[in-house]
Structure 1
Amino acid sequence: MAREVAYDASQHIAADGIADPYLRPAFSRKNRLVRLLWQLVWLTLYRTSPRPLHAWRVALLRSFGATMGPHCHFYPGSRIWAPWNLRCADQVTAADGVEIYNPAPMHFGSHSILSQGAYLCGATHDYNSAAFPLLAYEMRFGAYCWICARASVGPGVQVGVGAVLGLGSVATRSLEPWTVYAGNPAVALRARVNTSGIPVMETVLEDSLT
């Protein structure tokens, strides 16, 4: 899937007389205020909650606009930049140390797993522009995919159904369904056995999330 910019800060944020473009905010004041409120909630109510209270953390995420299917397990050490851009089917897991940087929507299919310390980066900057604007990408992680511990997924990368990104690997290109990847940059190593019953050529997400 081609990378398409979902949010370009230069098209949303006016210069407002600020001469140095690097000093311009990338998001509206409302967005920044809501993120500040979410950070306070994360610090006081989410991060401090006992590990078994997945339903409590899911409820907090939903209160900030996240779409969460049943049986999602988000651990207290996981961090979500913008809950309102989080779209989860059922049984999505985000372990401690997971960081989801999602200025644009990120979609997670059924039974997708993010292991400890995984980092999902949903934005970059246009380094060829003098204004250096933030560019955010909508991203999709297919059902039964597994992003292993300490692995990173770059902006705009799409992860196919059942794909595996190995320990500490860095995905700079989209991952094909039912394929195991490893390395920096990640390369395909072998096919993964499809035990889910989902056809290999099916889209990266269930129809209900597209």
Structure 2
Amino acid sequence: MVYLWGAVEIIFVTNPWQISSSLRIAVLRLFGAEIGEGVIFRPRTRVRFPWKLHIGSRSWIGEGVWFHNQDHLYVGNDVVISQESFLTTGSHAVRNDMGLLTKPIKIEDGAWVTARCTILGGASIGKSAILTPGTVVKAGEKIPEGVIFGPPSGKILGNRYRDEGPRRDIKEAQ
């Protein structure tokens, strides 16, 4: 089933041509995705396991969105997930055997995930919340309803290489 889905995904879902959104949705539903009425699914999207994808009505999935959903991924009604956003429900047990760990993601009604956001497993986005462009929502993080959530201004966090010691230009910049 996984291999068959991989071939079908390339032809009908990931395909960059502007084929019908309703055809994309029909193929996803055929493979077990639960997708409500009036959903728009733009080209170049990726869905790892459609049988673990649940999208409410009237939601918009932008171009290039990647649902890397090894676990269930729930998207409410009237949600917008903008272009190039990446949602992954999986990670690894980095402190022992690197085994796969999965946790579902939940995005509640009316939320807007703007361009190029990353949402990690176990995260939840509250009703009508907005993530600003480029935001990373950490594993298990819960974004409250009705807030605008995003990263602070960039700052230098430290040296790339441990053996160099503090660099003068970094100290002066901070």
> What TM-score do you get using the length of structure 1 for normalisation?
0.68
Larger Rg: 2
Secondary structure of the residue that 1:143 maps to in structure 2? coil
RMSD: 1.7
Q: Name the CA distance, whole Å, in 2 between partners of 1:132 and 1:48.
A: 32
* Unaligned segments of structure 2, at least 5 residues: 154-174
Structural mapping, 1:66-81, within 5 Å? 66-81=33-48
Larger RCO: Structure 1 or Structure 2 (Cα < 8 Å, ≥ 6 residues apart)? 1
1:134 and 2:106 aligned:
no
> How many residues are paired up?
151
| Superimposed CA distance per residue, residues 85-106 of structure 1 (whole angstroms, 9 cap, x where no aligned partner) | 0011101211111011111111
Query: How far 1:52 moved relative to its partner?
Result: 5.9
Query: How far 1:45 moved relative to its partner?
Result: 2.6
Q: Which amino acid aligns with 2:62?
A: A
Q: Name the CA distance, whole Å, in 1 between partners of 2:64 and 2:129.
A: 21
Q: Which amino acid aligns with 1:102?
A: N
> What TM-score do you get using the length of structure 2 for normalisation?
0.81
Structural mapping, 1:33-52, within 5 Å? 34-48=1-15, 50-51=17-18
Q: Name the CA distance, whole Å, in 2 between partners of 1:78 and 1:100.
A: 8
Partner of 1:155: 121
Secondary structure of the residue that 2:4 maps to in structure 1? helix
Q: Which amino acid aligns with 1:154?
A: L
* Unaligned segments of structure 1, at least 5 residues: 1-33, 186-210
1:145 and 2:137 aligned:
no
- Is the Cα contact below 8 Å between 1:169 and 1:184 reproduced in 2? no
Task: Return closer, same or farther for 1:67/1:184 CA change in 2, 3 Å cut-off.
Answer: farther
